[in-house]
Amino acid sequence: MKKKTRFLLVGLLVVVVLLIVAYLLIPTKNSTTISSFILNRRLLKLLVIIIVSFAIPISTVSFQTVAQNRFLTPGVLGIESLFVFIQSGLYYFESLIGLKVEQSTLIYAVTITIQIMLVLLLMNVSKGMLLSNFKVLLLLTMAFSILLRNASTFLQVLMDPNEFDKLQSSLYPSFQKMNTQPILIFAALVLFGLLMIVFFKLRHKLDALHLGVDGAKLLGINTKRLSNVVIVIVIIMTSLSTILVGPLQFLGFMIANLTYQLTKEYKHGVLWLFSAILGLVIVLSAQLIVERVFLLTIPISVFIEGIGGVLYLILLVKGAKPGAA
């Protein structure tokens, strides 16, 4: 780890500690005193924020290494479109039979499983073109996403207006209305930890792939197998974040590219750590500004995606080259 990176990391850790204390103790307009109930609820929300802030940047950095392109995020795999379609199907089924369908951990597990199976099917159809001709896979997933969005829109037109309102509320990304079921948060935390163990074992192979596909192959790395494993982990991490707070488009893109610019590192152990801490700083800061300073209830995704869109245009204008460097 470079000296500059170490210095920035220490600074970010100090900021994180201050932000966490502020998030737990600063009152809102709805709670002027901090009771044990409010503190426990904020701790659950903080766990969700940590999981999302870690999972999205780490999965994005890993995906960009496999895709060899800094402009792409896991969203191009159609994960979020599939999530919207499944949720639309559930609410349509609920309005059709008049029976309430609980958003249980089992349903979320089935959702993630379907997402993995369909994306792997698309990868198989593209015959491993993720590392040779990414445009083919990109076109497949774009077509797949459009198909799912049209199907979701069709179901939403047919469903009961009350169910449609509930669906829209669940699909719009928000840290104010995040999923705080204790069993789901615990399951997500354990699953994220297990996935990071697998990622940690693959870090040296990803370091080689980060420097180029040809070089990785010369070192004896099975790049196709590596990409398949990484894609599965990325799908699960992205799905966890989507289930907990809803679809987030530009958060991973913004944090990953800021990490590249600030650290100039290629080792994934460093990239993951830095991007995770930076992500937590950005999300907590945005949450505190929106919720505690301006006393608003609007989703912070409005600010995050706005900043991410501006960063995307800046990088595009500067002519940032595709391929992780």
Supply the CATH number for residue 70's domain.
Answer: 1.10.3470.10
pLDDT band at 275 (very low <50, low <70, confident <90, very high): very high
**Residue 146 domain boundaries:** 45-247
Rounded alpha-carbon distances, angstroms, from residue 37 to 2, 18, 27, 34, 151: 43, 22, 13, 8, 41
Is 322 part of a structural domain of the chain?
no
Model confidence pLDDT, tens digit, residues 11-34: 999 999 999 998 888 776 666 666
Quote the pLDDT of residue 316: 67
CB 42 within 8 A of CB 30: no
Q: Does residue 308 form part of some domain?
A: no
Q: How far apart are CA 128 and CA 224, in angstroms?
A: 7
Buried b (16+ CB within 10 A) or exposed e, 129-158: ebbeebeebbebbeebbeebbeebeebbee
Residue 128 region by backbone torsions, left for phi larger than 0, else alpha for psi between -120 and 50, else beta: left
Which of these, 75, 71, 78, lies nearest to 256 by C-alpha position? Answer: 71
User: What is the tally of structural domains in the chain?
Assistant: 1
Contact 33, 288 (CB under 8 A): no
Closest CA to 112 of 54, 184, 181: 184
Is residue 211 a part of any domain in this protein? Answer: yes
The DSSP code for 320 is P
pLDDT band at 323 (very low <50, low <70, confident <90, very high): very low
In a domain, 97, yes or no: yes
Q: Are 56 and 251 in contact (CB under 8 A)?
A: yes
Give the tens place of pLDDT for each residue, 212-265.
888 888 888 888 888 888 888 988 888 888 878 877 767 888 899 889 888 888
Of these ranges, 41-50, 198-207, 309-318, the one predicted with the greatest mean pLDDT is 198-207
Q: Between these two residues, 210 and 168, which has the higher pLDDT value? A: 210
| 146 found inside a domain | yes
Residue 49 lies in a domain: yes
Split at pLDDT 50, 70, 90, the class of 166 is confident
Q: Is residue 296 part of a domain?
A: no
102 within domain boundaries: yes
The mean predicted confidence, pLDDT, of the chain is 79
